[in-house]
Amino acid sequence: MIGADLGVFAQLGGLFVAAFGAATIFPFQSEIVFVGLQLGGTAPLVWLIVAASIGNTLGAVVNYGLGIWIEHYRDRRWFPFNGGQMARAERWYARWGVWTLLLSWAPLGDAFTVIAGVMRTPPWLFLVLVSIAKTGRYIVLAWLTAQAAT
């Protein structure tokens, strides 16, 4: 029984790492790992969703941190916006752009999480929106996989 528990733990850990990596700027697809584990049926589905969601959300936090780091260079010549453009972009983003984080699950969604860091989105708001998006994606993926498997 202990071996089975370690196997499930290893599977969940692997899924966490895959989901974490997939949320960063590295090209990786956690959906393949998720679906494979779901179809394998050795780990409880709720734990697959939890491991993937937490890993993917924490990977997005890395992108957010990268955006904060990039923003420190806003006074540099190569930075894409000058002071006035950046102020306008920040106003627009604060009003409308923050909601793009609900699309952070999408293929180009990682860019939204970097931009959130550049635009200094409040961390609590970032985590709430990204967690909703990432968890929702895995719930829908689990449902679609279950439908396709029947």
H/E element holding 21? helix 2-23
pLDDT value, residue 74:
66
* pTM listed for this prediction: 0.86
pLDDT in tens, 16-72: 999 999 998 777 889 999 999 999 999 999 999 999 999 999 999 999 999 899 876
SS3 104: coil
**Considering the chain, what is the average pLDDT of its residues?**
88
Q: Is the pLDDT of residue 131 over 90?
A: yes
pLDDT value, residue 1:
41
For the CA atoms of the chain, what is the radius of gyration?
18
Is there a contact between 130 and 101 (Cβ–Cβ < 8 Å)?
yes
pLDDT value, residue 99:
94
Distance CA 121, CA 80 (A): 19
Residues above pLDDT 70, as percent of the chain: 88
Boundaries of every domain in the chain: 2-149
Q: How far is CA 143 from CA 13, 121, 129, 148, in A?
A: 22, 31, 21, 9
